[in-house]
A and B are shown apart, each in its own frame.
Chain A
Amino acid sequence: MTLHVAVALTGSSFDASRWVDQIRRADEAGIDFATFDDTFGRSGPDAVLVASRVAPLTRSIGLVPVATTTRTEPFHLSTALATLDHVSHGRAGWQVRISADPAEAELLGRRAPLGVDDLISEAADAVEVVRRLWDSWQDDAIIKDVPTGRYIDRDRLHYIDFTGEHFTVKGPSIVPRPPQGQPVIAALAHAAQIWDRLDVDVYFTTPSDVDSAATIVRQIRAHGRTDKLVFADLVVFLAGDQETAIRRRAATTSDAAVFAGTPEQLAGLIAGWEPSGISGIRLRPGDDEHDLTAITRDLIPLLRERGLFTPSAEPDLRTRLGLPAAVNRYEGAARA
């Protein structure tokens, strides 16, 4: 079995050429997708825009920015991500995040902070709204029918009429359906509650070893999520020799397992995790510059040699990840 390989970028650079350089290297190495970290409170650029900035200059890598559902407008999220899918020709994804940080609440204002449980409900509603808006235009809505003077067939556009505890959204989207239909949605799932409540395609999980990876995969499957992809997150510090790598790691702690060693050792560890049933690995470079280079230059060739990774020739992210073609929920539905 081969695995999917993703990288998690956490950089806060405002230098476009640096982002382009990094994502191009990952693209050339055949990495399936990159996630772009973000929070409102951090010092750093808006991740959706960074992904959009690199899109025209890359070929096949999936672009998966983090965007927060707490206090943002699901309508704006949906149109921004649909547009990322248009500008990248079907390579867009979204890593959903909630914000329980009271300091972030003060940046945006307007509303008292919610508890985590409510934040997750709100995120689940936001995912639902975003997905409905992506479907609110059928693929063939634009007809350009000169005899009747009609640009669209309005029967192929749909009000989504979502009503929830936190917002109501009428629709349809102002952006035609994205090329993938449904860009890939992912979430970091530390706790079982996420697995049931968010309609995502990809879970990022944080096993500590092969056994805990197997347990997590079993749990997710037991929750009925048989068609979801499960990625294991791993923080990596790489060097030509283990001592240097360990020195670089220093006292780093993380929610995910932290690896320090040579690319060969890391390839061995990934080989060891593969039987757990995970669909892929998301590598979090300890340092965006140094460790990303070691991943693309040294690790990827080793994984390919061992038959653990094969770059995909598929141009869109869903197909790359083996997700089924997105079926539009409004196909065959009554008019808007």
Chain B
Amino acid sequence: MPKQIILAAHFPGVNNTTVWSDPRAGSQIDFGSFEYLARTAERGLFDFFFLAEGLRLREQRGLIHDLDVVGRPDTLTVLTALAAVTTHLGLAGTLNATYHEPYELARQLATLDHLSGGRAAWNVVTSPGAFFGENFRRGGFLDHADRYVRAGEFIQAARTLWDSDGGDFHIQSSQFDIKGRFGVPRSPQGHPVILQAGDSDGGRELAARHSDAIFSRHHQLADAQEFYRDVKGRLASYGRLPDSLKIIPGVSYVLGDSDADAQEKAHHIRRQQVSPQTAILLLEQLWNRDLSAYDPEGPLPSADPLLDEDETIVKGRAGMYPDRLKTAAEWRARAEAKNLSIRDLIIEVTGRQNFIGTASSVAASLNEYVQTDACDGFILVPHLTPAGLDDFVDQVVPLLQERGVFRTSYEATTLRGNLGLA
């Protein structure tokens, strides 16, 4: 039997993938939008629904970023409400290990697992520095280098609490010293599903040791295969089998009646995603300097990026450019070769859709990724709220089912069961 594909629905987030300027774009905060997308995902027999989270509004040049969607509901609260309007769909929330405490969060996740009949999942993220800390009691208390020390101990503490089945516990580690009785009996999944979304060596190690799935950003075929080999290769030293860790990149797609039609749509969406103002802001994220005086329809700056990684121009978002000079040189070469303006270049080099084509070519590509071990499935990131996955569910899901690589009914009532995790 071929590998079965995991599918998840990412609620459109607070970055420029989400097109709010389209007349069809609905509310980013009304519960109705969340319910619509969750019901769509469940109609498509998806494994889970996914929410990202950031604990402070992003800033650029010291000002609240105003060009992308801003603001979203609290993760656990909205997922628990979604449990009321869905029956099989997993409910995955991103929650920060730095600015929560194990007893409280383990109790909330176990509550969600009970109140959803075993559908809770936690995407464990760490924090990009002290910026978030200004909203919390302890401020920026944790060294960047210790982010995975705390995250690892946090997951272990949560697992100890979940295993205590309402009994006594005593947890002592470098980050935590807590004891007492955990007030939640064993939840339907025992342990909610754990996802991890860090990409550094520390993040990969944490995933190999503690998590059930990775939300990755590797989506070029060869790069994704390399990531897959790397992370799965780390499992043996923790006594784990390759199948016990699922690799699920976040991807976007565009469907068309023909490949040309899909390409045209994709380009139109990219122009919506990269407004002239957004083009300058995205360029600043690499250049790390104020470029507000530049014309988005003009050429790239001649000066090089600033390399001060302690004072980045963007706050509240993980760094995306490990080697600024190298990337800038690549962008310059490309812009010169094709005579591209700043905006045209940004449209080409950032966030291009991963799968573009007819429903059948997209279905074939997705399947190729999974069968050639580039990943185990996909977290689909639509660009429109809330109807952005309608076409996928209506057109691509049936083709995956025909190929025998996607379920035709839910196998289990719990998320663990549907993901085939122990």
Q: Residues on A close to B: CB < 8 A? A: 14-16, 20, 40-46, 48-50, 52-57, 71-73, 75-76, 79-80, 82-84, 86-87, 89, 103-104, 106-110, 137, 142, 144, 146, 148-154, 157, 166-176, 336
Contacts and interface: CB of A to CB of B under 8 A. Distances in A.
Q: 10 closest pairs, A vs B, by CB?
A: A149-B277, A83-B77, A170-B134, A14-B114, A83-B74, A109-B178, A149-B275, A83-B73, A87-B81, A79-B74
Contacts of A174: 53-57, 71-72
B21 interface: yes
B396 interface: no
Interface string B63-80: 110111111111011101
Of listed A49, A75, A106, A108, residue having the most chain B CB within 10 A: A49
A253 B185 CA distance: 28
Contacts of B71: 137, 142, 152, 173-176
B31 interface: yes
Contacts of A104: 180
A82 B114 contact: no
B21 to A, nearest CB: 5
A153 B70 CA distance: 10
Given A49-B77, A49-B112, A79-B74, A170 B135 contact: yes
A31 B70 CA distance: 36
Interface residues of B, number: 63
Interface stretch (B97-105, B143-151, B219-227, B412-420): B97-105
Contacts of A173: 71
A106 B180 contact: yes
A153 B121 CA distance: 34
Contact of B56 (A46, A82, A137, A170): A170
Given A80-B77, A83-B78, 10 more contacts: A40-B104, A49-B76, A49-B77, A50-B111, A54-B84, A109-B103, A109-B176, A137-B71, A172-B57, A174-B71
B77 A50 contact: no
Contacts of A80: 74, 76-77
Contacts of B115: 14, 16, 45, 49-50, 53
Contacts of B177: 109
Of listed A106, A144, A149, residue having the most chain B CB within 10 A: A149
Contacts of A73: 99, 135-137
Interface string B11-55: 000000000110000000111000100000000000000000111
A166 B137 CA distance: 7
29 contacts: A40-B183, A43-B166, A43-B183, A46-B111, A49-B76, A49-B77, A52-B78, A53-B81, A83-B74, A86-B29, A86-B30, A86-B31, A87-B31, A107-B103, A108-B103, A108-B178, A109-B177, A142-B70, A148-B277, A149-B21, A151-B70, A153-B66, A157-B70, A167-B136, A168-B134, A170-B135, A174-B56, A174-B57, A175-B71
Contacts of B276: 149
B64 A157 contact: yes
B108 interface: yes
B75 to A, nearest CB: 9
B117 interface: yes
B179 interface: yes
B74 A49 contact: no
Main secondary structure of the interface of B (DSSP, over half): loop
Contacts of A109: 101, 103, 176-178
A55 B81 contact: yes
Contacts of B85: 56
A151 B77 contact: no
B166 A16 contact: no
Contacts of A336: 64
Nearest to A153: B66
B103 A40 contact: yes
A109 B100 CA distance: 12
A50 B115 CA distance: 8
Interface string B84-104: 110000000000000111011
A282 to B, nearest CB: 24
B80 A49 contact: yes
A41 B182 CA distance: 8
A45 B68 contact: no
Contacts of A152: 64, 66, 70-71
B114 A45 contact: yes
Contacts of B35: 56
Given A53-B115, A167-B136, A82 B74 contact: yes
A182 B281 CA distance: 34
Nearest to A19: B115
A103 B57 contact: no
Contacts of B179: 106-107
A151 B78 contact: no
Of listed A20, A52, A73, A79, residue having the most chain B CB within 10 A: A52
A63 to B, nearest CB: 11
Contacts of B68: 151
B387 interface: no
A175 B84 contact: no
Contacts of A45: 111, 114-115, 184
